[in-house]
Structure 1
Amino acid sequence: MHASDSLHSDRSRIASGHMALAAAQVGFGLFPVFGTLVFAAGGVSPLGVGSWRIGAGALILGAITFAIHGRAALPDRKDIPRLLWCALLGVVVNQGLFLVGLSRSTPMNAGLVMSMIPVFTFAIAAAVRQERFSALRAAGVLIALTGMVPLLFGNGGGTRILAQYGPGNLLMVGNALSYSIYLVISKPLTRRYPALVILAWNYLLSLLALPYFAAGEKLLPDPGFTAAWWSLAYIIAFPTVISYLLAMFGLARVRASTTAIYVYSQPLIAGVASWFAFGEEPTAAMLVAAVALFIGIWLVARRPPHPELPVPKGA
């Protein structure tokens, strides 16, 4: 192969990675909008949607994983307890809190709260010495947490804590914290298994919680509620399966630091889509929160010049 052919191949590979990452963020970013649509009267309950995500994710991702990796997708017995914790925090608690929280809030609020995940992840990773602590990044955590305060006051004019959307936002803060813990405890597994294998087992082991999610819940929209049917189909197809696969495809072709930039687009996508779909306009509290959150995230994302500390033995 000539040097020019190799260069063209590398450029095509990188370009395809960027396109995949952009498409993945659109898929994730629109989730709060379609979630709000499917939760409307006559639609599906929040935990009902969670039931569909767990069931479909386990079936589809499990089938793809075993088709690609075969018996290599079977985890070592010693890793099963950690995988169970990953399933609990990364899927069961994560989805339960997010879906119920979203049903009590708005897509714009959801987009902003979800941007706390990298902040929480750094704070937890630094506490267990997976990440190197620095004063600058610690300041980023404090600024981002300060930005969360207006969201917990909701639209109550700042006079009542947890007003209107506050309870839903607080549940989604718990969701972001749960997923951040998952990212930290799953890190040792990433050294032994492909990302797809870990994701598939997260969903497969989450089937243990499916009866709890589905019991007594409304699982199907009313027959004539077309918007809810399409929204449910979107949630099952994209943020549950396709967006994850696109993100993995992109990660294999683009630097991780570049990937992080794409993740920051999710609140913008959710906000713009909510504005078009529902006429939702950003409040002063949201704007204050957005500025503080993005400054905090930017500071947290700035890595110190030293490499990460090794994971403690026995992790």
Structure 2
Amino acid sequence: MQTAQFKTNGVFDALLRGPSISSASSRGLNWNGYVTERHRAEGFERPEAVSDRYIVALWTMLPPICEYADVPGQFVKHRKPPRAIVLAPPGIIPAIRPHGQGDFILCALEPEFVNSVEVELDQRPNAEILYRRDFVHPAFARLMELLSAEANQGGPLGRLYADHLANALAMQLLHLGSQARKNKTDKVSVLPSHRLRRVIERMQDLQVDLDLQTLAVESGYSRSHFLRMFKGSMGCTPHRYLLQLRLERAKEMLRQRKWLLSDIAVICGFSSHAHLTKVFRDVVGVSPSEYRRLL
């Protein structure tokens, strides 16, 4: 778990516009196209700013009363709802006067990343993504919380898991900016057997930290199509399937009774002995040590 650090600059400057205490940062985890951090900032007037990326803020504690410059030079007082979300696309971010401390999860998505997700959608959004503030969206909030938790723990579930969350976050962002909705009667597609075989063979190397883009390239499809077709073929996401492969290999090694748990964790692609134990207990119902004793 990460310790808090004092920050005065970074990818979230356009939204923070001043010093803050940061934690749970994904910087250094080799995530491409997106960053998440938690921040705590004191209440002070923040002037109008310009952002070059998509920034989303989720207020994690009861938000303070804020004043927004809805009209240049004129501030209007507004009370935020619990778990309020602010969505700021590239462009101008209005001035704000918070009347107290703010605690929030921040996610920044590079325009190139969002565009790459957009071109993969079957039905592309039909409206521009605009600045929105103080709306509540449980699914969007949950994705941000999961991504933040993964960053706070140092990325133990791997880049594939983080990519999956960020991809879903970008799709939510795109649909929030439009009225486009997928046809619920779309036929479920599956991966051709030879391509599915190639993907699964790639996943057999359990010690490699695979990402979503690598598997999509292996399949010959875009990330969004690959995700949908893999689930149509296997009944689960790529991350869930990879986790099952790792657990089955761990069970096999436990049955051999000659491996240390720390060695099993490394060979099966878990980030640590503790990570193996937690996932094993969550899925199997007992710890690896208990599983071996019960054999």
TM-score greater than 0.5 by the shorter chain: no
Which protein has the bigger helix share?
1
Q: Select the structure of larger CA radius of gyration.
A: 2
Higher strand share: 2
Q: What is the TM-score normalised by the length of structure 2?
A: 0.28
Higher relative contact order (CA 8 A, sep 6+): 1
